């Protein structure tokens, strides 16, 4: 273990804060490290060592690096399934049953309670179980790099488009989302940034919204000349309540105009 730690120190993943490894080896002390998350995010994560791969072509070698080796022994297979499902639950916003293999679905069905209890116990995440899949929800709303809902025009548009996609029968074409975005930009021009109504602005706005929805596994996009955007079940968690009117406390305050807001409902 010390050899691995020293390699991570050499790579810059760890930075020693206090103590040293020699004292740890002699059972005379401990060591404290800081983790550089930017460095660790850029490291190659492989299930097989590069020296064990025979493929000579680039694509073949990359595929072999992440190829999962199926153990021969049942206990080892179950352990591999447990590790795989735990990793998915922690890394993915949602784990849909239809994305799992037959073996993974069978293991999750039989061991769901034990698996989710263990994840919650060690991480504090709360399981949201639905017929379509499972999401591990962070009560502190910290473990994400894509927030929804969030403040700002782009987030507001993303929520509105999510609602539009969820209501679509059989999916919505990107061209239809462009059209809808132009309408929304006019409707909310008093509150959104001015460039939202510029000709062609809807293209980048929709692309950014779809990127966020896809990262959260709320949609699936079928490629084509005019891609089809299909809602995934978890998109039903997001909706917008009816507008509320907030009158200013008194005349002469920061603004005399009534403020309208649409509050997200999760």
pLDDT in tens, 111-152: 999 999 999 999 999 999 999 999 999 988 888 778 887 888
> CA dist 117 to 83, 84, 111, 221, Å?
14, 16, 10, 33
Query: Is 16 in contact with 4 (CB distance < 8 Å)?
Result: no
Is the whole-model pTM more than 0.75? no
pLDDT, tens digit, for every residue of 72-94? 788 888 999 999 999 999 999 99
- How do residues 194-207 score in pLDDT, each as one tens digit? 899 999 999 999 99
**Tens of pLDDT along 247-256?**
666 555 544 4
Report the distance separating Cα 111 and Cα 103, nearest Å: 12
User: Domain extents for the chain?
Assistant: 2-43, 72-137, 153-265
């Amino acid at each position: 273990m010390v050899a691995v730690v020293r390699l991570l120190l050499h790579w810059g993943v760890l930075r020693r804060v206090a103590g040293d490894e020699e004292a740890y080896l002699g059972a005379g002390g401990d060591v404290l490290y800081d983790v550089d998350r930017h460095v660790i995010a850029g490291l190659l994560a492989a299930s097989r060592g590069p020296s064990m791969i025979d493929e000579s072509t680039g694509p073949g070698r990359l595929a072999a690096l992440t190829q999962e080796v199926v153990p021969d022994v049942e206990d080892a297979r179950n352990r591999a399934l447990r590790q795989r499902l735990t990793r998915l639950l922690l890394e993915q916003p949602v784990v849909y049953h239809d994305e799992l293999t037959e073996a993974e679905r069978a293991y999750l069905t039989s061991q769901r309670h034990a698996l989710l209890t263990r994840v919650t116990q060690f991480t504090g995440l709360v399981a949201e179980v639905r017929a379509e899949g499972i999401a591990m929800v962070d009560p502190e709303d910290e473990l994400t790099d894509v927030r929804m809902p969030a403040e700002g025009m782009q987030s507001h548009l993303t929520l509105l488009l999510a609602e539009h996609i969820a209501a679509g029968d059989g999916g919505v074409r990107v061209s239809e989302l462009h059209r809808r975005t132009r309408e929304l930009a006019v409707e909310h021009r008093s509150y959104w940034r001015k460039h939202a109504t510029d000709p062609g602005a809807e293209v980048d706005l929709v692309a950014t919204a779809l990127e966020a929805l896809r990262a959260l596994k709320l949609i699936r996009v079928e490629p084509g000349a005019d891609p089809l955007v299909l809602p995934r079940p978890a998109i039903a968690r997001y909706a917008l309540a009816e507008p509320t009117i907030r009158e200013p406390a008194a005349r002469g305050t920061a603004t005399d105009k009534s403020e309208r807001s649409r509050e997200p409902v999760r």
